Chains A and B, each alone.
Chain A
């Protein structure tokens, strides 16, 4: 009975995590398209949601271990219990909601790793975490992913503007908007094939650990379907707060920049995962947006915003680990402790939602930045520029 409760809770929170993952990462693919007016906000999130759903069903090769070697498993290592997975997911979900409230793009994968690491430390001690792998797989890639994507986008943006006479040649802006829609769609599809997989892996791992499924078998259909739907729903509802940051606050993205940034992101993500050196979608796209701001003459990059995002990335792992560790500490005492954690997590999550309600960001005001800025925007719709 206790095992069943644990498994049910893990499956539930895994799907919630998947939802926040989609919710958080809508901005990666669609923020620039929304900012340039290439796609209407609702259309953008619908396309992204459908492609994420399709992506979830496309890939059948599930990453067998979500931990990817960070937590020493198997012979001589620690046994990851469903309770630890649950606690890790609590940490990841709360961090995702917190950064969403602040409108900061941050990697859901890193949050998940952080949560699991925290839970593993509490559950099995510091020895259970391979910090060398944490450094090489999480910390260093977080430093150079945005640099790589930023540099690529910088040169691509510069080239795009140079070739089209600063986007003044006939039809250049319209053309870049069309191109951007396509490269952003590729980013969405790639996201679906990657991120939904992680949750499927977590749920399958739990089912195997609890003995509901044979070891070495792939995810069951209901797992694939529910993960795909959860990430698609999250994507559709859209983390508008984060979209505003990526599309408008880092730099005011124009069509040529949006096209260059999304194409650079798509190229970097696809090539890195194809060559077995997968980089975080969030970090690549954020870096590319900064790069596209630097590649355009007279464009302003708001380094204060970039600094806040960088801080969020720095804290993603330790903060999620702290929450995950606390959750593991309480949850591992008994089933009652587990339920207490679930209730606390629910309260924390709802707390962020209520805080966000006070200053809602929706598809209607996603492109407004500041009060005076939005006033000048209203008289000049994005699609035609300022009159």
Chain B
């Protein structure tokens, strides 16, 4: 039993798992949410607090917002592809 083990658990490895999972999940969710938010730029808030659609009118979206939105979503697509890479052993 090495010094960094307590009750037989490798807490250092556990800490790394926690830190990486935390960072990955929060980054992916934030980028995805940011992408959705940017796609909504220029439109009125049309979704009620309870999730119902109150208006279907689409506003005009500045080019910057569109580019930013797709950049954010691209980060998420990359994360999904990396996830597939991790799952499928034939890739590594």
Q: Contact residues of A with B, CB < 8 Å?
A: 55, 58-61, 132-133, 135-137, 140-141, 144, 148-149, 151-153, 155-157, 159-160, 163-173, 175-176, 179, 182-183, 186, 189-190, 193, 254-256, 259-260, 263-264, 266-268, 270-277, 279, 384-387
Known A159-B26, A171-B47, A272-B21; further 4 A-B contacts with Cβ < 8 A: A159-B30, A168-B49, A170-B44, A263-B25
Q: When the two chains form their complex, are residues B87 and A170 in contact, meaning their CB atoms are under 8 A apart?
A: no
Most B CB contacts (10 A, CB to CB) among A152, A155, A255 go to A152
Contacts of A260 in B (CB 8 A): 25, 29
B contact residues around A386 at 8 Å (CB):
50-52
**A275 pairs with B86, CB closer than 8 A:** no
Known: A170-B45, A173-B51, A254-B51. A186 touches B21 (CB 8 A): no
Interface assignment of B24: CB less than 8 Å from any CB of chain A = yes
Q: Which of A144, A156, A186 contacts B26 (CB under 8 A)?
A: A156
The 7 closest A-B pairs by CB, nearest first: A136-B8, A385-B51, A170-B40, A163-B33, A169-B40, A156-B29, A175-B36
Number of B interface residues at 8 Å Cβ cutoff, please give it: 46
Residues of A near B21 (CB, < 8 A) are 148-149, 152, 264, 267-268, 271-272
CA distance A172 to B52 in the complex (A): 11
In contact, A168 and B47 (Cβ under 8 angstroms): yes
Q: Mind listing 26 A-B residue pairs with CB under 8 Å? A: A58-B90, A61-B89, A135-B8, A140-B9, A149-B21, A155-B26, A157-B29, A160-B29, A163-B34, A164-B37, A166-B49, A170-B39, A176-B33, A176-B36, A189-B84, A193-B87, A254-B51, A264-B21, A267-B21, A268-B21, A270-B86, A271-B21, A275-B13, A275-B16, A275-B20, A384-B52
Interface of chain A, helix or strand or loop or mixed? helix
**A170-B84 Cα distance, complex, nearest whole Å:** 30
Shortest Cβ gap from A114 to chain B (Å): 18
**Chain B interface (Cβ < 8 Å from any Cβ of A):** 7-10, 13-14, 16-18, 20-22, 24-26, 28-30, 32-37, 39-40, 43-53, 76, 80, 83-84, 86-90
CB of B83 within 8 A of CB of A148, answer no
Residue of B nearest to A268 (CB): B21
- The complex places the Cα of A155 from the Cα of B30 at a distance, in Å, of 10
Q: Do residues B32 and A266 form an inter-chain contact, with CB atoms below 8 A?
A: no
A153 to chain B, nearest CB (A): 7
A270 touches B83 (CB 8 A): yes
The answer to whether A268 and B25 touch (CB under 8 A), given A171-B40, A172-B47, A274-B86, is yes
Known: A167-B51, A169-B47. Is A186-B87 also a contact (CB below 8 A)?
yes
A136-B9, A170-B47 as given contacts; A267 in contact with B40, CB under 8 Å: no
Known: A170-B40, A263-B25. A160 touches B53 (CB 8 A): no
Residues of B within 8 A of A155 (CB): 22, 26
Q: In the assembled complex, how far is the CB of residue A132 from the closest CB belonging to chain B, in whole angstroms?
A: 5
Q: How far is the CB of B73 from chain A (nearest CB, A)?
A: 9
Provide the residues of chain B in CB contact with A60, threshold 8 Å. Answer: 89
Neighbour of B87 across the interface among A175, A190, A259, CB < 8 A: A190
Are B30 and A272 in contact, CB atoms less than 8 angstroms apart?
A: no
Query: With A and B bound together, what is the CA distance between A173 and B53 in angstroms?
Result: 10
B35 to chain A, nearest CB (A): 8
Query: B33 to nearest A CB, angstroms?
Result: 4
Could you say which residues of chain A place their CB within 8 Å of the CB of B24? 267, 271
Q: How far is the CA of A148 from the CA of B14 in the complex (A)?
A: 10
